[in-house]
């Protein structure tokens, strides 16, 4: 306890010094502010005393000019105190716009994509091959994720890529869908380097379900349309049926079903409805 009291007293001594400095500064600033009011009141009285008939020394004009000057000065002082924050904001904005304006190395909507190889859905087989692939993320240049990876996946094969976090499971998909390009080596689909394919056409042939999917605050149908912007209502319903979620979306607890927003899904999953869903999923 003695040691605890000693530490507390030392902390209190330092805090008392800080509090005294803060109180002195606050008192001084208040005194200066009120003193300036006093000086202006005194100057106004002198002007009115020496020039009682002059138009601009009349009470209302003098008070207007005095308060305009004082509040203008206070506002200017407050604005100047924001100078460091304005400089930080400008610096941050420059970094943000530099990122926004930086051209993407893989531009799905770029002009070069018009010349890229299209994909014929009827002949697309889905053979995937990694040929001596070396890859590391731009933010972690000191850490290679793949070092000379060689792998071939034949059409209709079912495979599972397992491993600890950071072993390259997500990177495998990122390279196939061409979210990134390998530094060395090739990723081929049906014997063609993915760099030669039109990016939009390539991604239309691939289906990806992330571990933590993101929902936009639009209707459920609009969220599903991100998979195919030209899909009809029948195709949306068919996709929901295939994914075993049509019954869930059209359940009685959701009034407007596919036209509702994801927020309503989350709200509907509270309480008893959540228990029903868990029971159905078993």
**Residue 211, pLDDT score:** 73
- Note whether 192 and 254 are same-domain residues: no
- Note whether 272 and 235 are same-domain residues: yes
The whole-angstrom separation of Cα 208 and Cα 177 is 9
- Note whether 89 and 42 are same-domain residues: yes
**Residue 281, pLDDT score:** 47
Residue 214 lies in a domain: no
- Note whether 120 and 93 are same-domain residues: no
**Residue 258, pLDDT score:** 55
DSSP annotation of 152: E
- CATH number, domain of 129, equals 3.40.50.300
Residue 166 lies in a domain: yes
Number of CB atoms found within 10 A of residue 117's CB:
14
- Note whether 90 and 159 are same-domain residues: no
- Note whether 145 and 167 are same-domain residues: yes
The whole-angstrom separation of Cα 220 and Cα 214 is 12
**Residue 259, pLDDT score:** 53
Cβ-proximal residues to 64 (8 Å cutoff; 6+ apart), any chain: none
DSSP annotation of 105: S
- Note whether 12 and 62 are same-domain residues: yes
Residuewise pLDDT in 10s, the chain (282 residues): 777 777 777 777 777 777 888 788 778 877 877 787 777 778 777 777 777 777 766 667 777 777 777 777 777 777 777 777 888 888 999 999 998 888 888 877 777 777 788 888 788 888 999 999 999 988 888 888 899 989 999 988 888 888 888 788 888 889 998 889 999 999 999 888 988 888 888 888 888 877 777 778 877 888 888 877 888 888 888 888 888 877 777 764 444 545 555 555 555 555 555 555 445 544
The whole-angstrom separation of Cα 191 and Cα 235 is 31
Residue 209 lies in a domain: no
DSSP annotation of 56: G
| Domain boundary residue, one of 46, 73, 97 | 97
Q: What are phi and psi of 142, to 5 degrees?
A: -85, -5
Q: Roughly what angle, to the nearest 10 degrees, separates helices 59-81 and 83-101?
A: 50
- Note whether 123 and 92 are same-domain residues: no
**Residue 133, pLDDT score:** 92
3-state helix, strand, coil in the chain (%, to 5): 55, 10, 35
- Note whether 180 and 252 are same-domain residues: no
**Residue 97, pLDDT score:** 92
Residue 102 lies in a domain: no
| Domain boundary residue, one of 67, 97, 127 | 97
Q: What are phi and psi of 128, to 5 degrees?
A: -115, 135
Show the domain range for 146.
111-204
Closest CA to 195 of 273, 135, 108, 281: 108
**Residue 255, pLDDT score:** 45
Q: What does R_g of the chain's alpha carbons equal in angstroms? A: 35
The whole-angstrom separation of Cα 261 and Cα 143 is 41
């Amino acid at each position: 306890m003695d040691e605890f009291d000693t530490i507390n007293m030392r902390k209190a001594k330092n805090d008392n010094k800080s509090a005294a400095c803060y109180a002195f500064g606050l008192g001084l600033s208040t005194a200066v502010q009120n003193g300036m009011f006093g000086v202006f009141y005194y100057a106004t009285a002198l002007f009115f005393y020496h020039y009682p008939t002059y138009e601009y020394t009349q009470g209302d004009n003098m008070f207007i000019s005095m308060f305009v000057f004082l509040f203008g000065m206070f506002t200017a002082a407050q604005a100047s105190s924001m100078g460091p924050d304005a400089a930080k904001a400008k610096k941050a904005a420059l970094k943000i716009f530099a990122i926004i304006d930086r051209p993407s190395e893989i531009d799905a909507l770029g002009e070069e994509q018009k010349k890229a190889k299209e994909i014929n859905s009827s002949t697309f087989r889905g053979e995937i091959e990694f040929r001596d692939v070396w890859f590391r993320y731009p933010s972690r240049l000191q850490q290679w994720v793949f070092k000379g990876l060689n792998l071939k996946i034949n059409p209709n094969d079912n495979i599972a890529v397992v491993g600890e976090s950071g072993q390259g499971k997500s990177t495998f998909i990122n390279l196939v869908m061409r979210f990134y390009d390998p530094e060395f080596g090739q990723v081929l689909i049906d014997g063609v380097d993915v760099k030669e394919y039109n990016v939009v056409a390539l991604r239309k042939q691939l289906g990806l379900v992330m571990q933590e999917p993101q929902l936009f605050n639009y209707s459920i149908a609009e969220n599903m349309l991100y998979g195919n912007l030209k899909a009809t209502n029948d195709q949306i319903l068919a996709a929901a049926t295939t994914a075993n979620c049509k019954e869930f979306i059209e359940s009685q607890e959701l009034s407007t079903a596919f036209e509702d927003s994801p927020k309503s899904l989350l709200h509907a999953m509270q309480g008893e409805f959540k228990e029903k869903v868990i029971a159905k999923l078993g």
